[in-house]
């Protein structure tokens, strides 16, 4: 029998999740980009899209735990298998151990997916391994395999909480408290509610909650941001406001970062704002509306032209055309001292957004910091130069790692004489547990947001 006729037996949602995970393994594709594209191309929506997302994200989330289990059922390590076989085994494990799919169905889908992708040869292995995996519950497997917490806490968490060793170690350093780290890792492994950000002046949270309820989606106002609406589940694209661009999908932590730069007190003019790492435009779209309410304008700069186009698209519903430029923030197209408010939301490891991008934990390496940190420092130093004396600069990352947060701010402040740091906490009075300052580090387990870092600097001369 040819491959094509066999592949029809797998439903489209599982096939899409499998294909997206394989693309991640083979080409390094990002799950949060490749899966929605596949779903769109194949016309998969509604519950099937939800199932595909849960399968793909859930498998990526617990990949570390599943690989530890698979390694004991295989004669070679999971990472030495063909990518399609590896993905089939991981996805089969997820269905068996975390989704309560009946074993015969989970095993046969895993077998069919692998057979459809690479042919007959590995079919016997996939069948046998998944049957072994089905022999215990996830809890029983992890209890048997993880080192005891008391003897090797990091090793225990690597297996049970499915995070790479270096990430567990970094979170332990940052949070100190063992049980808090466990809460943090558990929060990373819990799918986040979909957060929407209302574009100021175009609609209101109350209107969006009403539209969502009419569409059968459970929605409530956000916990912290006055522009946020949270959806308990469902596809945000079901909302006309999302499709038309009066609302965007954006974590509340990101919304708070935009509010920090907009709320910072300022003496003198407040007319020109700059977002110097704007793509794909979530914060810019919020800031354009906030600036317009005060008669100010935002310049949104982004190095990659394709991402600059996404910023323009995110802001398309504002009556005034947004000012979006494709520009390198380290070699700016503007004169020093041109802006009253600047936000620099730098490229980073993204380890603060693992709830939404679960695969990033496996892609990132400590060595990435060697290129990211100098770029982050250069972008912050230029952002400071872009601000006028008395102007403010918000430095933002969606990572909590000290190397790309506190250490970057300290290094740039040490090299720049004309800047001081200010306390961010008074700018977010609605949010509790903001730590000792002056910067703010949000956490999924404390605030229910991505782990956004924000520091505020003021140019003095």
Ligand X SMILES: C[S@@+](CC[C@H](N)C(=O)[O-])C[C@H]1O[C@@H](n2cnc3c(N)ncnc32)[C@H](O)[C@@H]1O
Tell whether residue 277 is a contact of ligand X (CB under 6 A).
yes
Q: Which of 182, 252, 345, 359 binds ligand X (CB under 6 A)?
A: 345
DSSP string, 219-288: EEE-SS-TTEEEESSS-GGGSHHHHHTSEEE--HHHHHHHHHHHHS--SS---EEEESS-TT-HHHHHHH
Tell whether residue 289 is a contact of ligand X (CB under 6 A).
no
237 alpha carbon, distance to own chain's centre: 18
Tell whether residue 332 is a contact of ligand X (CB under 6 A).
no
Q: Which of 302, 359, 404, 450 binds ligand X (CB under 6 A)?
A: 302
Q: In angstroms, give the least distance from the CB of 173 to ligand X.
A: 23
Of the pair 225, 254, the CB lying nearest ligand X is at 254
Any bridge partners for residue 298, and if so which?
273
Tell whether residue 20 is a contact of ligand X (CB under 6 A).
no
β-strands 339-345, 387-397: how paired?
A: parallel
Per-position x/- string for 96-115, each x denoting binding to ligand X as judged by CB under 6 A, each - no binding: --------------------
Tell whether residue 245 is a contact of ligand X (CB under 6 A).
no
Q: Which helix (H) or strand (E) holds 156?
A: helix 153-160
Tell whether residue 24 is a contact of ligand X (CB under 6 A).
no
Tell whether residue 385 is a contact of ligand X (CB under 6 A).
no
Of the pair 209, 258, the CB lying nearest ligand X is at 258
Q: Which of 14, 303, 355, 364 binds ligand X (CB under 6 A)?
A: 303
- For residues 458 and 341, give the distance between their C-alpha atoms in angstroms, rounded to a whole number: 9
Query: Helix 123-133 and helix 83-97: axis angle, to 10°?
Result: 30
Output the six-digit token pair for 184: 């943090």
Q: Which of 92, 116, 329, 444 binds ligand X (CB under 6 A)?
A: 329
Sign of dihedral through CA atoms 279, 281, 283, 287?
Answer: positive
Output the six-digit token pair for 218: 């459970």
Per-position x/- string for 162-201, each x denoting binding to ligand X as judged by CB under 6 A, each - no binding: ----------------------------------------
Output the six-digit token pair for 312: 């323009």
Tell whether residue 281 is a contact of ligand X (CB under 6 A).
yes
Q: In angstroms, give the least distance from the CB of 321 to ligand X.
A: 19
Tell whether residue 368 is a contact of ligand X (CB under 6 A).
no
Q: In angstroms, give the least distance from the CB of 257 to ligand X.
A: 8
Peptide bond into 190 cis (omega under 30): no
Query: CA neighbours within 13 Å on the CB side: how many for 381?
Result: 17
Q: Which of 42, 149, 307, 445 binds ligand X (CB under 6 A)?
A: 307
Q: φ and ψ at 275, to 5 degrees?
A: -110, 110
Q: φ and ψ at 54, to 5 degrees?
A: -65, -40
Of the pair 133, 262, the CB lying nearest ligand X is at 262
Q: Looking at residue 74, what DSSP letter applies? A: S
| Stretch of 49-57, 200-208, 259-267, 277-285 contacting ligand X, by CB under 6 A | 277-285
Per-position x/- string for 198-237, each x denoting binding to ligand X as judged by CB under 6 A, each - no binding: ----------------------------------------
- For residues 142 and 133, give the distance between their C-alpha atoms in angstroms, rounded to a whole number: 12
Tell whether residue 278 is a contact of ligand X (CB under 6 A).
yes
Between vectors from CA 346 to CA 254 and to CA 442, what angle results, nearest 5°?
Answer: 40
Q: What Å distances lie between residue 186 and 103, 226, 411, 429, 448, CA to CA? A: 26, 27, 32, 27, 12
Tell whether residue 450 is a contact of ligand X (CB under 6 A).
no
Number of residues that bind ligand X (CB under 6 A): 19
Q: In angstroms, give the least distance from the CB of 39 to ligand X.
A: 21
| Stretch of 7-15, 64-72, 322-330, 450-458 contacting ligand X, by CB under 6 A | 322-330
Of the pair 122, 282, the CB lying nearest ligand X is at 282
| Stretch of 37-45, 50-58, 171-179, 271-279 contacting ligand X, by CB under 6 A | 271-279
Output the six-digit token pair for 269: 């003019």
Q: What Å distances lie between residue 15 and 93, 128, 354, 369, CA to CA? A: 15, 21, 24, 35
Q: Which of 58, 280, 289, 391 binds ligand X (CB under 6 A)?
A: 280
Q: Which of 26, 22, 62 is nearest to 38 (CA)?
A: 22
Q: Which of 283, 355, 356, 439 binds ligand X (CB under 6 A)?
A: 283
Q: Which of 27, 29, 21, 23 is nearest to 61 (CA)?
A: 21
Q: What is the set of active-site residues? A: 398
Output the six-digit token pair for 115: 């057979």
Tell whether residue 282 is a contact of ligand X (CB under 6 A).
yes
Of the pair 94, 361, the CB lying nearest ligand X is at 361
- For residues 446 and 400, give the distance between their C-alpha atoms in angstroms, rounded to a whole number: 13
Of the pair 258, 434, the CB lying nearest ligand X is at 258
| Stretch of 9-17, 71-79, 297-305, 384-392 contacting ligand X, by CB under 6 A | 297-305
Residues of this chain that interact with ligand X (CB under 6 A) are: 254, 276-283, 301-304, 307, 328-330, 345, 347
């Amino acid at each position: 029998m040819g491959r094509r006729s066999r592949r029809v037996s797998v439903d489209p949602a599982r096939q899409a999740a499998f294909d997206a995970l394989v693309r991640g393994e083979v080409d390094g594709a990002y799950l949060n980009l490749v899966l929605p594209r596949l779903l769109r191309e194949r016309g998969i929506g509604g519950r099937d899209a939800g199932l595909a997302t849960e399968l793909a994200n859930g498998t990526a989330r617990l990949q570390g735990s599943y690989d530890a289990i698979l390694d004991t059922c295989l004669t070679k390590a999971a990472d030495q298998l063909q990518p399609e076989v590896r993905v089939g085994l991981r996805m089969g494990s997820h269905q068996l151990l975390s989704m309560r799919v009946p074993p015969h169905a989970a095993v046969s889908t895993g077998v069919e997916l692998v057979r459809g992708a690479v042919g007959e040869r590995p079919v016997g292995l996939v069948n046998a391994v998944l049957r072994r995996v089905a022999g215990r519950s996830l809890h029983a497997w992890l209890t048997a395999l993880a080192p005891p917490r008391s003897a090797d806490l990091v090793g225990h968490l690597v297996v049970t909480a499915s995070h790479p060793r270096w990430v567990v170690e970094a979170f332990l350093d940052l949070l100190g408290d063992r049980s808090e780290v466990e809460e943090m890792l558990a929060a990373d492994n819990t799918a986040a509610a979909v957060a929407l950000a209302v574009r100021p002046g175009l609609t209101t949270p109350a209107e969006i909650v009403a539209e969502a309820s009419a569409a059968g989606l459970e929605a409530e106002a956000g916990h912290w941001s006055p522009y946020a609406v949270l959806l308990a589940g469902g596809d945000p694209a079901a909302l006309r406001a999302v499709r038309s661009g009066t609302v965007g999908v954006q974590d509340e932590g990101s919304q708070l970062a935009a509010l920090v730069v907009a709320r910072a007190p300022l003496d003198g003019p407040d007319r020109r704002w700059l977002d110097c790492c704007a793509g794909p435009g979530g914060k810019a779209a919020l800031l354009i509306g906030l600036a317009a309410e005060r008669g100010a304008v935002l310049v949104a700069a982004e190095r990659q032209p394709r991402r600059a186009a996404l910023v323009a698209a995110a802001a398309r519903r504002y009556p005034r055309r947004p000012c979006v430029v494709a520009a390198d923030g380290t070699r700016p197209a503007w004169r020093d001292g041109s802006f009253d408010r600047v936000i620099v939301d730098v490229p980073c490891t993204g380890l603060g957004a693992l709830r939404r991008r679960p695969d990033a934990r496996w892609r990132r390496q400590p060595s990435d910091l060697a290129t990211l940190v100098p770029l982050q420092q250069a972008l912050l130093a230029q952002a400071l130069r872009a601000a006028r004396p008395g102007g403010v600069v918000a430095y933002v990352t969606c990572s909590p790692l000290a190397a790309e947060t506190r250490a970057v701010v300290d290094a740039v402040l040490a090299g720049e004489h004309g800047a001081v740091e200010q306390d961010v906490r008074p700018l977010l009075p609605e949010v509790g547990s903001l730590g000792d300052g002056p910067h703010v580090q949000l956490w999924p387990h404390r605030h229910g947001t991505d782990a956004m870092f924000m520091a505020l600097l003021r140019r003095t001369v």
